[in-house]
Amino acid sequence: MKRHIIIHPDPRLKKECAPVTDLSDSLRQLADDMLETMYAAPGIGLAAPQVGELTRLIVLDCIKDKDDTPRPLIMFNPQVISSSEETNVYEEGCLSIPDQYAEVTRPSEVEVAWIDREGNAQKEAFDGLWATCVQHEIDHLDGKLFIDYLKPLKRQMITRKKVKLKRQRARA
ω into residue 9 within 30 of 0, thus cis? yes
Contact between 46 and ligand K1U by CB under 6 A: the answer reads yes
Told to check if 64 binds ligand K1U by CB under 6 A, we report yes
Least distance in Å: CB of 24 to ligand K1U?
A: 24
Is residue 94 part of the contact set for ligand K1U (CB under 6 A)?
yes
| Partner whose binding site includes residue 61, from Zn ion, ligand K1U, none (CB under 5 to 8 Å by kind) | none
Does 43 contact ligand K1U by CB under 6 A? Answer: yes
Per the annotation, the verdict on 118 as an active-site residue is no
Long-range contacts made by residues 129-133, C-beta under 8 angstroms, separation at least 24? 129/44, 129/62, 129/64, 129/90, 130/60, 130/62, 131/88, 131/106, 131/107, 132/88, 132/90, 132/92, 132/104, 132/106, 133/44, 133/45, 133/60, 133/62
The correct pick among 72, 93, 107, 143 for binding ligand K1U (CB under 6 A) is 93
Binding mask 94-133 for Zn ion (x = CB under 5 A): x---------------------------------------
**Binder to ligand K1U among 92, 100, 126, 138 (CB under 6 A)?**
92
**Stretch of 25-33, 40-48, 66-74, 152-160 lying at the interface with ligand K1U (CB under 6 A):** 40-48
Residue nearest to ligand K1U (CB): 43
Instruction: By CB under 6 A, tell whether 137 contacts ligand K1U.
Output: yes
Q: How far is the CB of 140 from Zn ion (least distance, A)?
A: 6
Q: Which residues bind ligand K1U (CB under 6 A)?
A: 42-47, 64, 90, 92-96, 132-133, 136-137
| Residues taking part in catalysis | 137
